[in-house]
A and B are shown apart, each in its own frame.
Chain A
């Protein structure tokens, strides 16, 4: 038997040898992360900010009453859905007040969009709503089409609705899984990701990417339906409704889950309207507002679907609304497949887009509510102003109204039930 010989591997990870000669000096700049670090470290996790309070509300919050304490949650916390930081003021186990600290994912997307030409904007807005990024492309192309006065081919509109509703199912299924995960149940997320992976894989066959699709175009979509997408979709549709029902029974009949969510974080109708909440969170409070019905766009007027509402407004209702919406979305996908017209998927447009000066608002119903874009054109090939309206921010804004009075353990329930996506909140 030959002796085992293995060539010695080149060692890695040794200390870097510095080049001889004078080393170039780094010029410090104001946005140098090392300088930011020097400024931050030390005062980071002290709940009380290291500066004198600036507003009356801040002064009121950072003054402790009798028997009260601060608790810092985040920005790295497994149940805050990203990089959200909350400073909770507790009295025993009861939340008295909350100070959300945002901006840990602020990437300056609006500014980048204003310095990109119109085609590149669609790619740049993708990572905002990263769970279902087509819904962030949609209002952008909608507003640009209004600026350009473009007629989108019907087949392209149907493909948009089809892929969008698929992604809505994926997002809602993930919501169920993460909701249970935040309440301590590991199982549902495993089932959620089976469906989610199948959906994003079929969308990858259509668009070429799994998450950040860059698929919609001004005046249509990037590519027509192809065989792999259709065969995967047909395969999935045979079991989609059944899988959604079995997903629902995992939690619907779970007594712990129902007891931890029923009556927790009640968002009443008036408060929801005052805070500008949209989407499933608003419909769970009894307001039947849906952009697809209230301000119809695309081919939604031709499709038959219901707007499910519930009156309770608690965390359980927000969860049940999602389950109903999954059923409605599957109905819409079915209709899209039956009514899909023939024709082109792209309107003919100039290669360089220069809309006339003007302003346009495009809004769609995303999985979390109304996503809107307010675009102002000054006649150049870049938008003069590109304002992004994100529903997660408004949904999260209700936290100071919902959290006080609840238990510490219920904060996770409430945050998970609101379904925030930090990419859109911080932009």
Chain B
């Protein structure tokens, strides 16, 4: 999007009644010419005024920002925070970490390859480095010996990041409930956003879980800094 200067804005917006700028107020307003899409509802913004130029300050004079019409597709301009937009992009390109612990890793790879192609939802590039990944899919049994390295991987991932517990072992201990060396649910050592039960879950289960995670990211839009950073299991379990 281009940012126009004052003259071009004045020329295009001629004939419209704007409140005069107070001295010291914004002198070079940000103008966003919309060349990308048409409004779904032509009356949604400013009663059918010319829509090639919009202005945040002008938008603020209307009620449009306070109702639900200010969501996607209804308006030409989105008054928002950068995080709010970027989270939409994040939700649609979740890059998992290539980290398989045990059996479930094969179903995870099966979801990523030919038949169940997770790439269709932008989830394919399994990054080998935690520095480049968004999602940690804990696929397989987490033992106490592996817990330390996995926590370190999780801490090496840059924020914002999400964690998916894949399989019964990671959800609750599953068939290793009686084992002396298995962490009884990875939420005892790290935060978990999506739980996918099954032993192992089908690839469709993982894809559904990842789609749910995308919805979660959208639900938390602009609030990812408020996420929990420690284990999510209650202390009294």
Contacts and interface: CB of A to CB of B under 8 A. Distances in A.
Contacts of A41: 148, 151-152
The A interface is mostly helix, strand or loop, or mixed, namely: loop
Contacts, number: 167
Interface stretch (B11-19, B47-55, B109-117): B109-117
B99 interface: yes
A112 B176 CA distance: 8
B32 interface: no
A78 to B, nearest CB: 5
A189 B178 contact: no
Given A9-B219, A105-B101, A105-B143, A3 B110 contact: no
A197 B199 CA distance: 17
Interface string B222-237: 0100111000100110
B200 A131 contact: no
Interface in A1-37: 1, 3-6, 9-16, 23-24, 26, 31, 33-34, 36-37
B102 interface: yes
B56 to A, nearest CB: 21
B181 A212 contact: no
Contacts of A1: 40-43
B129 to A, nearest CB: 9
A126 to B, nearest CB: 8
Contacts of A211: 103, 106-107, 200
B175 A4 contact: no
B69 interface: yes
A212 B114 contact: no
A130 B110 contact: no
Given A11-B223, A112-B176, A423-B102, A76 B149 contact: yes
Contacts of A108: 176, 179-182
B180 A44 contact: no
A83 B98 CA distance: 12
A51 to B, nearest CB: 16
Contact of B110 (A10, A13, A76, A196): A196
A4 B43 CA distance: 12
A106 interface: yes
B128 interface: yes
Contacts of B149: 44-45, 75-76, 104
B100 interface: yes
Contact of A112 (B100, B153, B178): B178
A24 B202 contact: no
Contacts of B141: 105, 107, 127
A112 B151 CA distance: 27
A17 B222 CA distance: 20
Contacts of B219: 9-13
Interface in B180-198: 180-183, 188-189, 193
A13 B183 CA distance: 23
A107 B179 contact: yes
Of A4, A24, A130, the most chain B CB neighbours within 10 A belong to A4
A131 B109 CA distance: 12
A193 interface: yes
A16 B188 contact: no
B41 A3 contact: yes
B145 interface: yes
A292 B110 CA distance: 30
Given A4-B68, A112-B179, A13 B115 contact: no
B6 interface: no
A16 B101 CA distance: 29
B210 interface: no
B8 interface: no
Nearest to A79: B128
A26 B234 CA distance: 10
Nearest to A127: B103
B102 A127 contact: yes
Nearest to B112: A193
Nearest to A133: B103
Contact of A5 (B68, B144, B200): B68
B110 A197 contact: yes
Given A76-B99, A82-B101, A190 B114 contact: yes
Contact of B115 (A11, A34, A194): A194
B106 A130 contact: yes
B105 interface: yes
B220 interface: yes
Contacts of A111: 179-180
Interface string A188-214: 011111101100000000000011100
6 contacts: A3-B68, A3-B69, A107-B179, A190-B113, A193-B110, A423-B103
- The 9 tightest CB contacts between A and B, nearest first, are A40-B148, A193-B113, A130-B103, A24-B236, A108-B179, A197-B115, A104-B146, A36-B144, A78-B128
Given A10-B219, A108-B182, 13 more contacts: A13-B227, A14-B226, A16-B232, A31-B144, A44-B152, A75-B149, A82-B105, A103-B143, A104-B143, A105-B141, A131-B106, A196-B110, A210-B107
